[in-house]
Homo-oligomer: A and B are copies of this chain.
Amino acid sequence: MDLQTYLKEQKARVDAALDRFLPPEQEEPRVLHQAMRYTLFAGGKRLRPILALAAFEAAGGTDDTRVMPLACSLELIHTFSLIHDDLPAMDDDDYRRGKPASHKVFGEGVAILAGDALFAAAFDVALQAPLPPEVLVRALRELTWASGPEGMIGGQVEDLEAEGQPPTAERVLRIHRKKTAALIASSLALGGIAAQAPEVEVQILKEAGLAMGLAFQIVDDVLDEVASEQDLGKKSHKDRARGKCTYPRVFGLERAREDARAYAQQAKEILQRAFGPKSLRLQQIADFIVERSY
């Protein structure tokens, strides 16, 4: 199966699982469930869940319905962060994935609570994974690390604080590592955890995931500089306008593209060395992440 077909099929499976795990829109409080589903199903490649599924395979896992709830919880955490990130007090984005942002549709109060509820749902869904309790506990530790002050939320704060500050190499790498790469690193790690791979393999997956995550965020920065709003489904040049600390602002566009490629290459080499051909899908996805920018 070629990569495009694989990505499409996995996305469909993840979407179906998300739909099953989330309360229906008709359930009270309706506006909350509507808001949760609105942003969750507004599009999105389901990159993080797909990475978890592919890492599960690379680590020798069979029957990936065992990792699916964890995969879904990654997307729930990601969507929670998007909703809060778009708020006027944060990045102040009116559009997300080509549609009005949550707070434009439901108001700020409900948008904040929908984000909160998606975060709660992430743990609720993760806890439904059919795994031995000690494996589940290990997986939840990974999720809290990836989302907390050392990961995504910490990165969002540093991103906010960095606005208007001089962009430096150290700062942009720290922000990207925490805000984006941590959750992507944990996506791969969770695949390994669910496959009950030895801890050393989980750490190798995480290391490869960190490199993939950096590649991903650098490409995102590049796209914000060069793509039109139609391509992105959100405002382009937004980062520049807000004085965000982005990779191209520090290193220039050319170097940014090169470094994204180098990080993807690094991820592939780590994976190939540790997992060989079982990691082919993950390696293809690493390539896919950087090809988006050309």
A116 / chain B contacts, CB cutoff of 8 Å: 80, 84, 115-116, 119, 153
Q: How far is the CA of A133 from the CA of B88 in the complex (A)?
A: 41
The oligomer's copy count stands at 2
- A184-226 CB contact bits vs B (8 Å, 1 = yes)? 0000000000000000000000000000000000000000000
Q: How far is the CA of A149 from the CA of B24 in the complex (A)?
A: 12
Q: How far is the CA of A149 from the CA of B149 in the complex (A)?
A: 24
Select one of B31, B80, B120, B134 contacting A148, CB under 8 A.
B120
A120 touches B136 (CB 8 A): no
Tell me how far the C-beta of A124 lies from the nearest C-beta in chain B, rounded to whole angstroms.
Answer: 4
Q: How far is the CA of A228 from the CA of B145 in the complex (A)?
A: 42
Q: How far is the CA of A105 from the CA of B117 in the complex (A)?
A: 25
Among A7-15, A54-62, A154-162, A256-264, the stretch in contact with B:
A154-162
Q: How far is the CA of A119 from the CA of B117 in the complex (A)?
A: 11
A89 touches B112 (CB 8 A): yes
| Residue A273 CB within 8 A of the other chain | no
CB proximity to B under 8 Å, residues A213-262: none
Closest-by-CB residue of B relative to A111 is B89
| Residue A113 CB within 8 A of the other chain | yes
| Residue A3 CB within 8 A of the other chain | no
| Residue A278 CB within 8 A of the other chain | no
CB proximity to B under 8 Å, residues A99-120: 107-113, 115-117, 119-120
- A60-101 CB contact bits vs B (8 Å, 1 = yes)? 000000000000000000001000100111100000000000
B148 touches A121 (CB 8 A): yes
Q: How far is the CA of A29 from the CA of B153 in the complex (A)?
A: 10
A110 touches B160 (CB 8 A): yes
A33 / chain B contacts, CB cutoff of 8 Å: 149
Q: How far is the CA of A154 from the CA of B120 in the complex (A)?
A: 11
A108 / chain B contacts, CB cutoff of 8 Å: 87-89
Select one of B121, B137, B145, B149 contacting A137, CB under 8 A.
B137
Give chain A's interface residues, CB within 8 Å of chain B: 23, 27-29, 31-33, 36, 80, 84, 87-90, 107-113, 115-117, 119-121, 123-124, 127, 132-134, 136-137, 140-141, 143-145, 147-149, 153-154, 156-158, 160-161
Q: List 20 A-B contacts (CB under 8 A).
A: A28-B154, A28-B158, A29-B157, A29-B158, A29-B161, A84-B113, A89-B107, A110-B157, A110-B160, A112-B112, A119-B119, A120-B147, A121-B148, A123-B143, A124-B144, A124-B148, A127-B137, A133-B133, A133-B137, A136-B137
**A117-B148, A137-B137 provided; 14 other pairs, C-beta below 8 A?**
A23-B149, A29-B154, A29-B157, A87-B112, A110-B160, A113-B157, A117-B157, A121-B148, A123-B143, A124-B144, A127-B137, A132-B133, A133-B133, A136-B137
